[in-house]
């Protein structure tokens, strides 16, 4: 266990190959990469028998997980940076105009990337971070099983959100909700 975690720690701290401009542009993505929730999900997917590539920059949005054989990608979206309609997606009250503009651009970019992937016949899952950590998190293997079932089905998209009491949908909800 300690060996495994120190190995992944070294991997995570190794400098990436992004230029400063790319790093800035992809800030929300980089912030989410190789952090606890995404690692947990990746390990659960691996336990479920899936094999995948990570952070493929050749695809729109640099998907966190790429299942080439299934022509499917998985994004782990931070609720704040991607404006999830959940308690973690609430925008700050101060500098409201700045945040509204910045986060609206993120949402717009997400939509463009999703459209580009769909146009190229990629199937897309969005796993909201609130499904993986915090008080509404789901059992990690349940999230992985939901993805495995989706892969064998025919839906083009899948969203997995936290189990919020007020949510109008379950793990099969709209991508933005």
How far, in Å, are 52, 58, 96 from residue 75 at the CA level? 13, 14, 27
Indicate which single residue of 29, 77, 82, 84 sits in contact with Zn ion (rule: CB under 5 A): 84
Cβ neighbourhood burial of 58 (10 Å; 0-12, 13-18, 19+):
exposed
Is the Cβ of residue 44 or residue 130 nearer to Zn ion in the bound state?
130
Indicate which single residue of 128, 140, 150, 158 sits in contact with Zn ion (rule: CB under 5 A): 128
Q: How far is the CB of 114 from Zn ion (least distance, A)?
A: 17
Question: b or e along 84-116 (b: 16 or more beta carbons within 10 Å of the residue's beta carbon)?
Answer: bbbebbeeeeeeeeeeeeebeebeeebeebbee
Indicate which single residue of 130, 132, 140, 143 sits in contact with Zn ion (rule: CB under 5 A): 130
Q: Are 174 and 128 in contact (CB under 8 A)?
A: no
Binding piece for Zn ion, criterion CB under 5 A, among 7-15, 69-77, 104-112, 122-130: 122-130
Q: How far is the CB of 87 from Zn ion (least distance, A)?
A: 7
Binding piece for Zn ion, criterion CB under 5 A, among 74-82, 103-111, 114-122, 148-156: 74-82
User: Is 151 among the residues that bind Zn ion (CB under 5 A)?
Assistant: no
Is the Cβ of residue 18 or residue 167 nearer to Zn ion in the bound state?
167
Q: Which of 78, 67, 62 is nearest to 116 (CA)?
A: 62
Indicate which single residue of 44, 65, 72, 79 sits in contact with Zn ion (rule: CB under 5 A): 79
Interface map 21-40 toward Zn ion (x if CB under 5 A): --------------------
Phi and psi at residue 114, to the nearest 5°: -60, -45
Q: Are 147 and 45 in contact (CB under 8 A)?
A: yes
3-state secondary structure of 85: coil
Site residues (CB under 5 A) for Zn ion?
A: 79, 84, 86, 88, 128, 130
């Amino acid at each position: 266990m300690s060996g495994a975690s120190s190995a992944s720690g070294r991997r995570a701290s190794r400098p990436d190959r992004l230029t400063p401009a790319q790093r800035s542009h992809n800030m929300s993505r980089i912030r989410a990469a190789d952090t606890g929730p995404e690692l947990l999900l990746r390990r659960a997917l691996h336990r479920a028998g899936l094999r995948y590539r990570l952070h493929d920059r050749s695809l729109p949005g640099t998907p966190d997980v790429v299942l080439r054989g299934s022509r499917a990608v998985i994004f782990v979206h931070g609720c704040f940076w991607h404006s999830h309609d959940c308690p973690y997606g609430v925008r700050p009250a101060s500098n409201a105009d700045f945040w509204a503009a910045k986060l609206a651009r993120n949402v717009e970019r997400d939509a463009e990337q999703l459209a580009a992937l769909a146009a190229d016949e990629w199937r897309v899952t969005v796993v909201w971070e609130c499904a993986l950590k915090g008080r509404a998190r789901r059992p990690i293997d349940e999230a992985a099983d939901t993805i495995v079932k989706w892969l064998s089905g025919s839906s083009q998209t899948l969203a997995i959100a936290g189990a919020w009491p007020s949510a109008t949908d379950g793990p099969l909800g709209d991508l933005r909700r």
